[in-house]
Amino acid sequence: MKGLGVAIIGSGSAVPTQILTNQDLSRLVETSDEWIESRTGMKKRHLSTGESLSQLAARAAIEALTMASLVPMEIDLLVLATSTPDDLFGSACQVQQLIGATRAVAFDLTAACSGFVFALVTVSQFIRQGVYKNVLVIGADVLSRWVDWGDRTTCVLFADGAGAVVCQASSTEDRLLGFEMCSDGSQNGSLNLAYQGISKNLLDNLTVTTGTYQTISMKGKEVYRFAIEKVPEVIEKALYRANLNTADIDWLILHQANQRIIDAIAERLEIPREKVISNIAKYGNTSAASIPLALDEAVRQGKISPRDTIAVSGFGAGLTWGAAIFQWF
């Protein structure tokens, strides 16, 4: 079974039905449609009312399975990239149960907005080793749960959604052409969702801390600078490993954090605008979901054709960043 390649054979996505526009946000905090659109490229975003993270992820997964012409029972491994699970112990098993992938081993992977890329690379190692054949990779987040809805510097950015791909072992070719992943914990304070415990005395000389998580906190300018500097580098490294250069990229799909970031990175890499996929105007920043959501939309719109070379790159909290180069099936 050794020496297998990875093929991505299906994609799917899901967003909640409820929509929050820039105008709506201007009724919540001191902001304007003009500010949000000119600074971020966002016009609206989808927010979950009651749909859980697991339900959103399951909807995206079912779509991806349908495109891949597989039934849930054929899935061997399910990895859910999320920072907003329904259950702190993980939500992948709930997704496994919801879609009926009863044979699959399922676990969560947390790498914030880099989660989808990190999950794709992780599952590829199992596939290449011949351990698992059919694998679901899901990126899903319900960031609306953790946003401070009174903080205009963050609440206009984040939203909810899910995207998924099906990866399959191939004995004939390897369509994951190259990847690179990076982390820098020294910049953790630039973007986080920290736990804050309160000291609680249980017995004499026995204390624990109990509490909950805070809301998303971000130093926007720092993260902006980090993304523009590091993302072109990591894409170039992944291209180098793939023995390709930027001219070989048919489509660039970046984490949808800010249209200005997307434009600046594409410009640095000298990738023309028509090769850059963006749907940030409609969905905002959906964290781990943003790349598979943009990928799936472009596939369903017929933009992406068989054998097109796609560069994806995620970046965000951790800080983490990574890129993968693959060919569509």
Q: Which residues of 299-322 are buried (b: 16+ CB within 10 A; e: fewer)?
A: beeeebeeebbbbbbbbbbbbbbb
Cβ distance 27 to 110 under 8 Å? no
Q: What's the one-letter identity of residue 206?
A: L
Q: Which of 22, 134, 155, 255 is catalytic?
A: 255
Tokens found for residue 142: 């319900």
Least distance (Å) between residue 112 CB and ligand UT7: 7
The answer to whether 258 contacts ligand UT7 (rule: CB under 6 A) is yes
Please identify, using beta-carbon distances, which residue of 113 and 271 lies nearer to ligand UT7.
113
d(CA 227, CA 79): 25
| Catalytic choice (113, 167, 258, 279) | 113
Residue nearest to ligand UT7 (CB): 220
Q: Compute the least distance from the CB of residue 279 to ligand UT7, in Å.
A: 15
- Residue 257 engages ligand UT7 in binding (rule: CB under 6 A): yes
* 192 binds ligand UT7 per the rule CB under 6 A: no
Asked whether position 43 contacts ligand UT7 by CB under 6 A, the answer is no
Residue 78 · residue 136 · CB < 8 Å: yes
The answer to whether residues 293 and 15 touch, using CB atoms and an 8 Å cutoff, is yes
Task: Tell me the window of 31-39, 48-56, 159-167, 242-250 that interacts with ligand UT7 (CB under 6 A).
Answer: 31-39
Please state the closest distance from residue 152 (CB atom) to ligand UT7, in A.
4
Ordered alpha helix ranges (H), 52-109 = 53-67, 92-99
Q: What is the pattern of x (binds ligand UT7, CB under 6 A) and - over residues 58-97?
A: ----------------------------------------
User: How many C-beta atoms surround the C-beta of residue 100 within 10 A?
Assistant: 14
**Residue numbers 141-180 binding ligand UT7 by CB under 6 A:** 152-153, 156
Bridge partners, 169 (sequence order): 6
Comparing C-alpha atoms, which of 265, 228, 225, 260 is closest to residue 249? Answer: 265
**Least gap, CB of 26 to ligand UT7 (angstroms):** 8
Minimum distance of ligand UT7 from residue 143's CB (angstroms): 9
- Residue 208 tokens read as 């624990």
Which value, in Å, is the radius of gyration of the alpha carbons in the chain? 19
Name beta bridge partners: 96. none
Place of tokens 């907005």: 113
Whether 113 is a known active-site residue: answer: yes
Check residue 259 for interaction with ligand UT7 (CB under 6 A).
Answer: no
Q: Which residues are catalytic?
A: 113, 255, 285
Binding site for ligand UT7 (CB under 6 A): 31, 35, 39-40, 113, 152-153, 156, 191, 220-221, 223-224, 227, 257-258, 261, 285, 316
